[in-house]
Structures are given as C-alpha cells and as structure tokens.
Amino acid sequence: MLKLPIYLDNNATTPMDPRVLEAMLPYMTEMFGNAASRNHAFGWQAEEAVDYSREQIAKLINCDPKEIIFTSGATESDNLGIKGVYEMYAQRGNHIITATTEHKAVLDTCKHLEKQGARVTYLPVNSEGLISLQELEAAMTPQTILVCIMYANNETGTIQPVREIAAIAHKHGALFMTDATQAVGKIPVDVLADGIDLMAFSAHKMYGPKGVGALYVRRKNPRVKVTAQMDGGGHERGMRSGTLNVPGIVGLGKAAELCRLDMESDNARISTMRDRLEKELLTLEESYVNGSREHRLPHTTNISFKYVEGEGLMMGVKDLAVSSGSACTSASLEPSYVLKAQGLSDDLAHSSLRFGLSRFTTDEQVDYAIGHVKEAVTKLREMSPLWEMFKEGIDLDKIEWAEH
C-alpha cells in the first residue's frame, strides 16, 4: 500500500536513518555524560563518542578529525565561517566574494557584514546556475580575504566548479569557503583535492538528526583561524563554545559513515529514478529543467511547467511533499530568487517544482508522482486562458496587456 502524502522534499530535510537513531539512543539515556567533564567515566565516554564521530566525518570528507568544529547546523557554520574570517583577517582586507544564488544563511550573513564595513561582490550566474570563472578572477582584489561559493545549489542541484574556484581564490591570497550542505554525504567531497579552506554542512540533509552540523576549518597549508562568535568555555578549539550535543554528534558521525559506505549504490539507484521522473514529466509540452543537467546532484530535479499558476500547482499536487523554492523561503509568495537569478521570468519561476529523492524513495512513489503531476498540470492548463491562447498559436510575449 502506498502511503500518502509522498515525501519528495529531501533537499529541505531527510528522514533519519534508523541505524543513526540506534547509534544515538544510548547517549540519551545511559551514557549521558558531558564531553567536557574530564574527571570521570561518564565524561570520558562522551568525549570518546565525540572523537569517534570526528573520525567518521573526517573519513567522509578526507580531513584531519581535529579540523571538524561541531555546531548546531549549517546556518551556524556559515555564520561562524564568514563572520569569523572577516574579523580574524580584518588587517588583510575587507572584501568578500559570493554568488547571487547562495543560501540565505550566506547572503544574509554577507548583508550583515556590509553594515559593518565589508565590501561584498555578488557574482551573477548563467542560465544553468553556474558562476563565470572569468568574472570571479576579475572580481578578485588585493583586499579580497574570502571567496564563499556553495558546492551544490539547494533548489536546482547545480554543482559549481569548486576546484577551479578554490585555485583562483588561492592564487590571489584569499581563503575559499563553501556551503556544502547539499553536497556532503550525497556526492564525493574531498576537502584536500578540492582545495577547500572552510566548509559548512549539516546532519539533517544526510539522514542524520536536526540541530547538529559542522564547520570544517583547515589546520595547515594554510592554517585557517576564525574568531569565535559565541564566547564561553572555549570548547571546539576555542571557535565554538557550548556543551556539545553528544547524541546529535554521534548521529552526525554515524550518518557520515553510512553515506561514505552507501553513496555509490544509493546514487546509482536514486539517479535512475530521478532521470525517469524527469523524462516522464518533460513529455508534458512546455516543461523545462532548471539548472545544469550536466553538473548537478544525483537526487534533484527542478522543473518549470509553463502556463500554470504557481499556487494552483502546489495545491494541485497536495499528495506530494515537494517545494517551489528553498524550505527557508517557501513561506513567501515571492518567486524563487535562485531561479530568477538564472534568468527565469516570474511566471516560469512561479510554476516550478523541486523534486528531491532519497535513499528511502521507492519506484512506486516515483510512478505515483509522475501520474499525479501530469494530471495536475494538464487539469490546471485546461482552466488557463493563457494555455488556450498559446495552443491557438498566439505569441504571448507580443501581447500588450491593458492597464487597470
């Protein structure tokens, strides 16, 4: 029996893997020690669990376990990384480069720093959502201290050329940071090979618990330092004070281990389902994939259905949990700023749906989604005067609409 609604919003959050929950449970009841308590077995147990988690994460992203700073999630990691670098390297310069399609956790942090005197360059993206390496190179100045470009986009799945971006940043003496929330655990991420100096990511996007994440901070070549944004007992190498969320950290570690072991087989299955979903939905006339089809995450597709009203579409597919933007901004009726940055019109951006599949998505669910979306789009278009005009061969771009 197919259970409705069907969850296809895995870029917003993923269900927790039962194996992750199993690893966490003992640390909520019997082994409840504070990892900073150095005087007794309860504290040592907790500290050992945290250290083991650092190792599991380090293996996934190819870093030293000591380079993992635990946080409450990717939003905090973005804030700590960007603000921490801005304060720590203030002597060297005040210029940050980012992109218009970044997550709000990056954009709003940059906006905050602009009020404090930072100069921020927001690079545009092309129709596939990719930045131009030439424009990045041209934007670099002797004052540039940080280039912060996301690894993979949360709305379209577009993957940026991270290695090339890192090389340009380093050539000009700047640090490279990436918000890799959507990439870590989903695709191979190697901080050494990629040239990443700081990287934010989160447990709940990779089948782990909510409320825990990490910031990778490189320790050598170069040794990166960030100013703490929260003061206290000097936990996490002095970069992030506060009693560690031991059960959450254990969950993040276990999730990282499972992703490392299962990534290849998961992705082979998930991308096959995604491609089938996409191919079937594109049989609807005037349907378009948003973002790069060559450089993107294996589990994501974002499709616009022309001549369909956005809110109508969301209501039409009420048996599917999908989104028409990122989870953090989906409460607003504004069309997605990511899709608009890629050059989509308001109408087309409004009529887009993001599908995010996971290791728990089944073929049966995908079949249902295909039928459900096709039916909804067809029905809504039958009610649309614009669709009728389009079918009659009227060029809607050339129409002068009367002012009220």
| pLDDT (tens digit per residue) in 279-297 | 999 999 999 999 999 999 9
- pLDDT band with cut points at 50, 70 and 90 for residue 329: low
Helix axes 363-382, 246-281, angle to 10 degrees: 60
Mean per-residue pLDDT, 293-305: 97
Nearest to 17 by CA among 250, 271, 200: 250
First to last CA, the chain: 51
Q: Locate the domains of the chain by residue range.
A: 6-12+262-396, 18-258
Measured in degrees and rounded to the nearest 5, phi and psi for residue 179 equal: -85, 105
What pLDDT, on a 0 to 100 scale, did the predictor assign at position 395? 86
Average pLDDT estimate for 206-221: 98
CA dist 147 and 168 (Å) reads 9
As a whole number, mean pLDDT of residues 143-152 equals: 98
Which CATH entry fits the domain spanning 6-12+262-396: 3.30.390.50, 3.40.50.720, 2.60.40.10, 3.90.1150.10? 3.90.1150.10
Active-site residues: which are they?
Answer: 328
Model confidence pLDDT, tens digit, residues 224-275: 999 999 999 999 999 999 999 999 999 999 999 999 999 999 999 999 999 9
CATH number for domain 18-258, candidates 3.30.70.100, 3.40.47.10, 3.40.640.10, 3.30.565.10? 3.40.640.10
Q: Give the tens place of pLDDT for each residue, 9-37.
A: 999 999 999 999 999 999 999 999 999 99
The two structure tokens encoding residue 116? 């404090």
d(CA 179, CA 195) in angstroms, rounded, equals 14
Instruction: For residue 51, name the pLDDT band (cuts at 50, 70, 90).
Output: very high
Which among 99, 145, 94 is positioned nearest to 342, based on CA atoms? 99
Is the pLDDT at 333 greater than 70? The verdict is: no
For position 231, what pLDDT does the model report? Answer: 93
Query: Which of these, 404, 361, 380, 392, lies nearest to 6 by C-alpha position?
Result: 361
Length of the chain: 404
Measured on CA atoms in the order 53, 175, 242, 76, is the torsion positive or negative? Answer: negative
Mean pLDDT of the chain: 95
